Structure 1
Amino acid sequence: MINKELQEFLDEKVIQYNNPKFIESDPIQIPHLFSKKEDIEIAGFLTATIAWGKRQMIINNSNKMMELLDNSPHDFVINHTEKELSKLTNFVHRTFNEIDFQFFIKSLKNIYKNHNGLENTLLITDKSDNYKTAIHNFKKVFFEIPHQSRTTKHVSDPLKNSASKRINMYLRWMVRDNKTGVDFGIWKNHSAANLHCPLDVHSGNVARKLNVLTRKQNDWKAVREMDAALRKLDKKDPSKYDFALFGLGVFEQF
């Protein structure tokens, strides 16, 4: 149970980390390179996809991705030729390689040409208060064109009990308001009230130490347990507590 003292502590940490200084060392800096909506959401999606490992490596490799896309990701996605796609050869970030990168570009083209873009494809359509089914349906659309089986592991599925940390982080980026200049708030058809706090090793460990989370595994059931606790603190913007949990874990080794 979260008491008033703990809530005040978490709210203070949100204020401490939810500001433009946070961008300097975080992968969210990559979509901040752009101003066009489609560039922001494609850059954000690709960056979030490879957001595991050391943060500087994520940032460096995300910058490489943008350079390979001629620093115009939406135009590249929509208008690329096979010859231009071959430029992506030799890209690698851990287990995400050129095969995956090339397929992601093709799939994103399909999404923008035939499904009205990323914002529409990730919409909650079942009247629920969470993204479980929306993310599952997004994955089905994402892989509806020919693909290698190896690539499917790079898009998670909550129906298989995945915590879906990277997609939840991406959703936070796109949906939360941009009053503090960190998140973008460009997906107006989504509601911040339905967002989930991205659950990884850092945020999970801090949440358990603070008794916000009791489940030992970092899976979808744990995400929903955290939802229940954090939505009591701010039902309109529960994912803001990602800044507190992540900041405490990464910057303060709490």
Structure 2
Amino acid sequence: MHLLPYQNLATRKQILQAANGIYLEGTIRAVMEAQKCTVDDAICIMDNLELQELPTKKFYQLLQKWIGERVLVEKTPGNASRIEALYNIENWFDEPLYVILVRHPLATINSMLQYDKEFFHHFDLGVTSEKNLRYNELTWALPYYNILQFMEKIPRDRYFIVRFEDLLQKQQHVMENICQFLKIDFCEEVLQPYQNKQHKMLDGIKQIEFAVGDHKFHQYRSIHPEVATAWKASSIADLPLSDISWEIARKFGYTK
């Protein structure tokens, strides 16, 4: 929803509108779901709240009120890139729980390059520039550096680390542990993430749009464990990473 770095909705709108207006759509889609309303009604609600300069904390409280006993999940990927956003969670919520999803840095870099090639046609993977590689490495390293610093301040029973590779290869075991951590009942449906997509807020606010995120999600039908190690067959497998990246990776159990 791209909320956590901002103290109020007016500031958020001003900054995100100047950068990329599509990032404003997450809250509109959330309001549509919480209020069971149309996109026009949700836009009107957000416009009014932004004019009021509603504090972001109050907006989260409003969302929680609207959804009742359902669990509010904030999963904006960029949250961890700004450590102040992580501390805002602690300041605004009562003992929040954190599920930290991490993937091998080289696998993540490879995925980013594939995304750029398929959706933006920026470059051929065989002639990827050093600048692009290092940018993608930083995109992986910075959030996890922040997370490691943040974890030192958080009680151990309030965060749960999930490795992407384990999630794919030991899916039921990992999902059972996640449900136990979140104190929610395990059900078989969590093992079928590509089923019942219409109930998972995967669309954008317009009928032709997908939500910001994995643009290939709608092509998938089931989980393929081999994806966890597919990157090892790519040219990225031999990419040298910085010492700091490997230091971060080792904290999550990865080795060269």
TM range (shorter): under 0.3
Q: State the TM-score, normalizing by the size of structure 2.
A: 0.25
Q: Give TM-score, length-normalised by structure 1.
A: 0.25
Larger-Rg structure? 2
